[in-house]
Amino acid sequence: MHENGEQMTQTNSRPYLTHLSPSTPLSQSTTLSSDTYVTTVSEHQPIKQPGNQPVTTSPVNQWTNKDVRQWLTDNNLQALHEHLNHFDGASVLALRHMYKTAPTIYYASMKNDMHITEMLLLLKFTTQLERLPD
């Protein structure tokens, strides 16, 4: 729930805000149609889309390979499961560090060493790397 009494709305995985009436319960979730999902968000609830498990709440550097695979799935990056098959959270953070400090080496490694050649997939993955907490 945002400070001004608005709620997060998920439509085709793109969040936007809608206004609530004062009588709307804070824990209410409503399915409007097969492609629209509305839920209130509080500071104590993980945000998740229907059908997805929330990303693990443990610090990224403590993630196991299973947690990394779940993070990829939660972010619609299942195509990278094979490429990151042996990565744990510390390895993912090392990739992010490489991206931030040596982007040319990062992109070359992703292409040449990890064989990720689809540009859109690489951009989506990189965006999710940037969003990870420290």
Kindly state whether residues 23 and 66 are assigned to the same domain: no
> In the prediction, which pLDDT does 39 show?
36
The SS3 of residue 31 is strand
Kindly state whether residues 73 and 118 are assigned to the same domain: yes
Domain containing 23 equals 6-39
> In the prediction, which pLDDT does 83 show?
94
The SS3 of residue 30 is strand
Kindly state whether residues 70 and 125 are assigned to the same domain: yes
Low-confidence ranges of the chain (pLDDT < 70): 1-56
What is the DSSP secondary structure assignment for residue 20, as one 8-state letter?
P
